[in-house]
Structure 1
Amino acid sequence: MSYKDVRQILSSVFDSEDSALRATLKTEGELLNMVLDETGEAPALRVRLVDFQPVTSIIDGEAAVYADLPNPAEHMNEIYIVTTASGIPLVSRKQAGMYRSDGISWNLLDTDLQADKVYYSGTVHAGNVQDALETLKLMSDVNSSSVAAHSSNASNPHGVTKAQIGLGNVDNTADAAKPVSAAVQTALDTKMTASAYTGAFGNLDSPLLHLPLKKNLLTAQGQSVCTFTRASAATYVDRYGMLKSVAADIPRFTADGLLIEGTSTNLLTYSEQFENGAWVKTNTSITTNTAAVTDPFGTNLAEKLYDDASNGEHYIYQQSAYTNGTTYCLSVFAQSAERTQLKIYSSGGAKGALFDLSNGLILSCDSGVTASIKKLSNGWFRCSIVFTAIVTATRANYFYSTVLGNTSYVGDGTSGLYIFGAQLEAMPFATSYIPTTTASATRVANYCQVSQTDNIPSYSKDFTISTDIVPLGIAGTQYIMGDANLSTGLKLYIETDGVIYATLGGVSLKASIFVSATVTYRVCLIKKGTLIYFYVNGDLKESKSVSNPPANQANLFIGSRNGTSGNGYVYISNLRIYDRALTAEEVRLA
């Protein structure tokens, strides 16, 4: 029963025409109201009062006489007021009054309610209802002593202490004022010092020089004094997988960064004109400059190698001079047509590999051969094999059309595949494509030069140089960068064993990891005081003391030792130079 319900009951009592009943209940009602006000909520009183006027029906459906009271088992502890006596006088007469169910029967409460001429009219007059009200208060557990005891109990939720719930030792100081253990403070001090951090997290975003080298030569930060040098035209695969050609001294930006390459020569002639007599055809023919497909350059210069109707091997080849013990790479761009498998084979090394042009897979590879297949746009793949020559002689370089791995089969006179841009070079991996016609052709080395002015700090002071590299492969000593101070200058390079090194002031640092082709590495050289540190991918590889750094800084050559030798075969990007020493944490985050 809600507080509102109790108020309604009391209001019905106060509206009674019996002044004595109103006077008696008014006092007790006010007492009950005060108790309810103290608790803040109405207790669960199970009392239903009907109008104290003589009535023939009861509110909520109860009868006005004793015989009409509901089943006591279903109304345990409920109190009903019977307003009209009933039954045979002095025999089975049931008087009016308050009845309470004990679950078995209805029992008359001692309220001293008297009936005036109960035999006849059944009119109810007020008597002493003190006992009935006390019963109501006890049933509802609403009395001043209970309320006082409840409020004074420290164990209840209205007055819980920290100690009572096991939080007596909790530190209530503000977060910023909480103490830090000595061990934690030492670890924090080791990771960073407040003096090293200013601006945007230690100025990681504010290097002295920043060359992204992904789209163009514009500097993200620093002086725009970067020049590019290459004395020949060259090709590259752009970030969208298209083959591009550029003139001399024009940089080549790819998805992996600025392409840096040393010198290489395509030993094959007529690299795109397979109909030329330099290419011998066996049980096969060539469709020249077919419009059926777009070649890797985006034009229609690709050619189709297709079968005749013979039963046998179907291939073309061109002979080249080999030197025993020299490593070579034979490559070609290919796309599937009716035939989906291409075999590349060199008799100079007696080695070959089989390629799936539908799915870009290497199906088989002879022992001692390193095979590669790289996807371009428009359905083209560049397939290559790397091998070591076993003779010093002129030997053939073959491109086979195959069926289910077999080079020998019955042709149908039309089925074949598309080829473009054949290349043979004395390299342990495929470099950028070098077009040829009547003679072999050479692509010369390239490098990028950064002016020292306002870009490179003095080597006698603290500094940091960081860059990302993706090696094309391992081919002798490859310089990532260097300067003109040959003996004491700064150098980052990959040695013939595939290990990355850094030197400054004649002191060499070794990364002790072997790089792999097409994998990205972040290399970082730091000078702080008299110490130099060498990091790869955020991990410190070695540190040493340096006592003789070059007195003067010099221009920095990217992809070369000093602009004249030691060229690398590598993609370079995200070159940054700081005029301070980055912390170990900054190196990991940079």
Structure 2
Amino acid sequence: MAGVWKRDGTVAVTNGNKKVTGTGTTFADTKNGVAKGHLFCITSGTSVDFYEVDYVVSNTELYLVQAYRGTTATGKAYEIITTFSDSVPEFARRLTATLSAYQQQSDAFQALLTSTATTVEVTAPDGTKQTLIPWKRVTSEGEGQAARAKTEADKAAASATLAGDIVAASALPLPDVWAPLSDSLRMITGYGRDVLVGSDVVARMVNFSRNSTATYIDKDGLLKTAAANEPRFEKEGLLIEGQSTNLVTKSEDLSTWLKNVDATREKLAGIYTKITATGGTMGCYLAGITLVVGKTYTISFWAYAETLASVRLGVEKESSATVNTITQTPTRYTKTFTATQTNGTIIAYSAPGTSGAFVVGGFQLEELPFASSYIPTNGAAVTRAADVCSVQQAGNFVVPATIGCNYNLLSANRSGLAPAQLLGFVASNKTYDGLRVITSSPLLKLQSLNEFDGGLSPGVTCQLFGTAVFRAANGVRNEFSSGAFGVPTQGDWKGQTLGNTLYIGRAESSDNARYLFGHIRNLRIWHRALTDNQIKAVA
């Protein structure tokens, strides 16, 4: 069992000095402290010396009646005999210490209950100091917190009401025409091509045709081929392109091209051919392509480096139509240029002073200011037919109307082309009416055209991809895109004679220059003028 003498910590003593310095000691402890007359015991050599305590200064300092006789030392063990059960003075001292401790705790408790101070410092029974909050402040803070909580609750209720009003104001009715165009031509609402089971209409579809095959990048990133009249759905939506011709007669198998010096060519799977050059300006070329000086063309191809990244790929003698550096990631590279010569020879060379292997294929040269979807060839130029996408106008386009769709253009550069038509129809025998994106250097603008009434609207700035919204009602029309409304313009088509077809991604005229060359999805038409808040929700 542990003793009752005081022996906690260690002490340092000095020969000839009465002072005792403690480390980890509690000489002044109110419950079992050291007092005058107690015996201080310490081992000195092989003997135990006894000294009478004179007085205590603190928990770590006391003085003896006689000077210390032993050897100067630190970290010494010690004992102080504090228990003299038959001593009246000792009993009185302990009683006083106990009452003092009780009084100290009582004072602390009273301070906690009655003090108006911000904090109260109390001494715990183990002697440590604690800073506490008095009860009056606790109750006052609680009342304040309750008041603040009520205020915040009132604010939250007001905000919830406002949010509810905003949601109600911007809530969209079900579109009268809705074609998601994400992975099929199916319409959720509206009139389209009927799909019948017996005599029952089980679905309605957007009309679509294309008189040739065409390629596209499916949603897993792979190059695929769509059959004639098969729509192409990419991650951006339904791809709609005009007609284009690939002038490169052998787009994939470069082993059939002419060699320039000595280079090894190996046909790989798919569109690729591997070229290994042992020196600079080695590879192959395809001649026989004639360009028209002053016309705009785009050369495109896929390529990646194996051991050689410095190359010359593109149209020979057209500096702005060649790619000189490729990466190790298969990438489609494109270069748009204005022809300065009639010679359109296509080259696939290593760069001067280099050697190594690179992989290339899928060459395409077309008379467009951007690269359209890849057109494979094998011995002759090939033309991809235009996509034709539409729904009937009757029952679908009714004024007043609000039309919204997501769009994505292949390029903002439409040099030599007309504006990109998002929607097109005939009104009062005018064939270019509808919604379009027009280049307004350096910005793009979303505009509407009513040739019979009001002409072209001022429009609103838009982006290469985004949401286009168009509202026609009460004799005016305006557009919304990129978070802004266009200026209202005269002409909403009400009372005008409308045609039979609402074209998607082109004008009513089959003019190739007015094709969207991009993507459309989530086409919606409401037979009403949506409010500004509702239009913001559409966008």
Q: Please name the residue that 2:261 is paired with.
A: 283
Separation in structure 1 between the aligned mates of residue 101 and residue 263 of structure 2, nearest angstrom? 110
Relative to structure 1, the CA distance from residue 577 to residue 175 in structure 2 (aligned partners, 3 Å threshold; closer, same or farther) is farther
Q: Following the alignment from structure 2 to structure 1, what is the Cα–Cα distance between the partners of residues 370 and 176? A: 36
Match of 1:569 among 510, 514, 517: 517
Distance 1:231 1:323 in 2: 27
1:252 to 199, 208, 232: 232
Q: Which amino acid aligns with 1:159?
A: K
**Once superposed, what is the RMSD of the aligned Cα atoms?**
4.9
**TM-score, normalized by length of structure 2?**
0.64
Paired AA for residue 458 in structure 1? V
Q: TM-score, normalised by structure 1?
A: 0.59
- Match of 2:399, SS? coil
Query: Do the aligned partners of 2:468 and 2:480 also contact (CA within 8 Å) in 1?
Result: yes
Alignment counterpart, residue 140 of structure 1, candidates 102, 112, 124: 102
The residue that corresponds to 1:493 in the other structure is: 437
Query: Counterparts of 1:115-130 in structure 2 under 5 Å?
Result: none
Residues in 1 aligned to 2:333 and 2:269: alpha-carbon distance in whole angstroms = 18
Cα distance change, pair 316–140 in 1 and its aligned pair in 2 (3 A): same
- Which residue number corresponds to residue 313 of structure 2? 344
Q: CA deviation at 1:524?
A: 2.3
- State the Cα distance separating 1:479 from its structure 2 match: 0.8
CA shift for structure 1 position 560 = 0.6
1:324-473 equivalences under 5 Å are 324-337=293-306, 339-346=308-315, 349=318, 351-359=320-328, 375=330, 381-391=331-341, 393=342, 395-402=343-350, 405-406=351-352, 417-451=358-392, 456=396, 458-460=398-400, 463-473=402-412
Identity %: 19
Moved more, 580-589 or 564-573: 580-589
Question: Do the aligned partners of 2:171 and 2:534 also contact (CA within 8 Å) in 1?
Answer: no
**What is the CA–CA distance in structure 2 between the aligned matches of 1:178 and 1:420, rounded to whole Å?**
64
**Following the alignment from structure 1 to structure 2, what is the Cα–Cα distance between the partners of residues 47 and 163?**
37
Query: Deviations along 1:287-325, whole A, 9 cap, x unmatched?
Result: 57x3xx3224xxxxx444455x89875432312222221
Instruction: Give the unaligned 5+ runs of structure 1.
Output: 1-44, 49-66, 85-95, 101-107, 110-131, 297-301, 361-374, 376-380
Change (3 A) 1:196 1:319: same
Give 1:242's match in structure 2, choosing from 222, 227, 238.
Answer: 222
Q: State the shift of 1:47 in Å.
A: 5.1
Alignment partner of 1:232 is 2:182: no
SS in 1 for 2:536: helix
The alpha-carbon deviation at position 250 of structure 1 amounts to 0.9
Which SS does the other structure have where 1:322 is aligned? coil
The residue type paired with residue 270 of structure 2 is D
Cα displacement (A) at 1:46: 4.4
Cα pair 1:284 1:316 within 8 Å, conserved = no
Query: 3-state DSSP class of the match of 2:365?
Result: strand
1:217 aligned residue (185, 190, 198):
185
Change (3 A) 1:137 1:546: farther
CA shift in 2, pair 1:460/1:585, >3 Å:
closer
User: Judging changes above 3 Å, is the alpha-carbon distance between structure 1 residues 428 and 179 closer, same or farther for their aligned structure 2 residues?
Assistant: closer
* Structure 1 partner of 2:530: 581
Task: Please give the alpha-carbon distance, in whole angstroms, between the structure 2 residues aligned to 1:147 and 1:343.
Answer: 90
Aligned to 1:482: 424
Instruction: Determine if contact 1:530/1:546 at 8 Å carries over to the other structure.
Output: yes
Unaligned runs of 5+ in 2: 1-28, 33-49, 60-81, 118-132, 191-202
**Aligned 1:501-580 pairs, distance under 5 A:** 501-503=446-448, 506-507=453-454, 508-511=456-459, 513=461, 519-527=464-472, 532-537=477-482, 539-546=483-490, 548-551=492-495, 555-562=501-508, 564-565=510-511, 566-578=514-526
Does the aligned pair in 1 maintain the 2:459–2:478 contact within 8 Å?
no
What's the CA shift for 1:520? 2.9
Shift of 1:220: 6.2
Asked whether the equivalents of residues 281 and 349 of structure 2 are also in contact (C-alpha less than 8 Å), the reply is no
Are residues 82 and 260 of structure 1, via their aligned partners in 2, closer, same or farther at CA, if it must alter by over 3 Å?
Answer: same
Match of 2:269 among 265, 284, 294: 294
CA distance in 2, matches of 1:271, 1:143: 96
